[in-house]
Chain A
Amino acid sequence: MNSLHDLGGMHGFGPVWKTPEGVAFHSDAEQRVFRLMMGLMAGGWCDTDGFRADVESLPLQVYARECFPANYLAGMEKQLERRGLLMPGDLEAWMAGIKLGPRATVPPAIMGERQEVPLPSLFRTGDIVRIRSINPEGHTRLPRYLRGQVGTITAQRGIFDFPDALAARTGRRPQPVYTVEFRATDVWGPEAAANDRLSAEMFQDYIESRVDG
């Protein structure tokens, strides 16, 4: 999804700002929302990839406020609706003293339990590879600024489930993950420093092919 969460390289957000060390939570709301999320994830009512997809799907003007507890609550509400635990309007009704009808009591499984065979590893450390140019409307962990770029595989990280498929609930699609290093000047042009490098993880499905020469 090409939305505002995919921030790498965007302009206009101003200088960075800092917050002090030694503070786990900066507000009561931040702590409550974190606590709620941990409870829902433990119970299977919210999953990482689905939750990220739902936060990314918030209206741009809402996401742009960067009020993190508000955005996370909205993401969790969407997750609960998807699982049939709450319907839109339920919380308002309950707050008004109206008793809710029967709702899901057990979270539906996100996907089948079947063990899928991982994709065979196609690349090795040292390979020069081109990243795919994709524009999926669904969730992906391939940032826009690296699409179509050429980089070098610097590490093989093992087999991981594919977040794009998990969020779409089409299966696990386990596959090799590689760390790929890019030259900053390849990605950003001559204004970047010649010796700077960027690294990111690439699921094998994000890699188009080896680049010869």
Chain B
Amino acid sequence: MSDHDHSHAEDHTTPPPEIQLRIKAMESLLVEMGVIDPAMMDAVVDFYERQVGPRNGARIVARAWADPTFKARLLKDPKAAIAELAMPGISGDHLVMVENRPGVHNMIVCTLCSCYPWQTMGLPPIWFKSAAYRSRAVSHPRDVLAEFGVAVPPETAIKVWDSNADIRYMVLPERPAGTDHMTEADLADLVTRDSMIGTALPLAPAKAAP
């Protein structure tokens, strides 16, 4: 992450001191009033911080790459197929998988707020909520992809999915070349969060994290 990106993440999540104080005071007051349950809230935070995240999605994608019959089931009925993986607490409710294939590149956005497939990918990255992304993902997808370092040839159609209602989208990226020998677990390491948003391609085998 560059310093530029780091300052963006901080700017967009660090309110001025008086607001930070207000957040803490609100929390204390509501606990005192007995309207929120700290133990329940801690459990939810723990779930999204430690148990759910893009690695869940990566497992789903790797299984689809490794097993064509699973992939067919996943595209047809994501909820049932994801249940086969028995990931605790994870359901594919209202999830739709959109498949990248030669000639078609998919990308997801929520132009109105920040709708995102929490169950399979965790909480959305800050940039996904940003005006810079939400404004141009629909009108200038090729420019946005270029800024993310993804060159899409003119003959490839870009399909942008605006998650403006209850359906949540996840991109099934194309399996990279040169991965025939790899195990499902190793394949999962090639699947980045951004490749399931559609703003990146999966890692090439040599560049995968060890």
Which A residues are closer than 8 A to B by beta carbons? Answer: 4-22, 24-36, 38-40, 42-43, 45, 52, 55, 64, 66-70, 73, 76-77, 85-86, 90-91, 94-95, 103, 141-143, 145, 155, 157, 160, 163, 177, 179, 181, 184, 187-188, 192-193, 195-201, 203
Contacts and interface: CB of A to CB of B under 8 A. Distances in A.
Interface core residue of B22, B53, B139, B154 (most chain A CB under 10 Å): B139
A196 B159 contact: yes
Contact of A8 (B1, B16, B41, B139): B139
Contact of B135 (A9, A18, A70): A9
Contact of B15 (A8, A29, A145): A29
Contacts, number: 248
B164 A69 contact: no
Given A18-B1, A25-B49, A91-B26, A36 B138 contact: no
Given A21-B192, A28-B20, A39-B36, 11 more contacts: A11-B135, A13-B132, A19-B8, A21-B194, A29-B13, A29-B14, A42-B44, A43-B37, A73-B26, A157-B167, A196-B159
B5 A13 contact: no
A86 B44 CA distance: 24
Interface residues of B, number: 78
B122 to A, nearest CB: 6
Interface of B: 1, 4-5, 8-16, 19-20, 22-27, 29-30, 33, 35-38, 40-42, 44-45, 48-49, 53-54, 94, 96, 111-113, 122-123, 125-127, 129-136, 138-139, 141-142, 144, 147-148, 154-167, 192-194
B131 A66 contact: yes
Contacts of B19: 29, 67, 69-70, 73
24 contacts: A7-B135, A8-B139, A11-B135, A17-B4, A17-B132, A20-B1, A24-B122, A32-B27, A34-B123, A35-B45, A39-B41, A66-B130, A67-B11, A69-B15, A70-B16, A157-B165, A157-B167, A197-B158, A197-B159, A198-B160, A198-B162, A199-B160, A201-B163, A203-B165
Contacts of B139: 8-9, 145, 187-188, 192
Contacts of B29: 86, 90-91, 94
Residue with the greatest number of chain B CB neighbours at <10 A, chosen from A43, A73, A77, A200: A200
B165 to A, nearest CB: 3
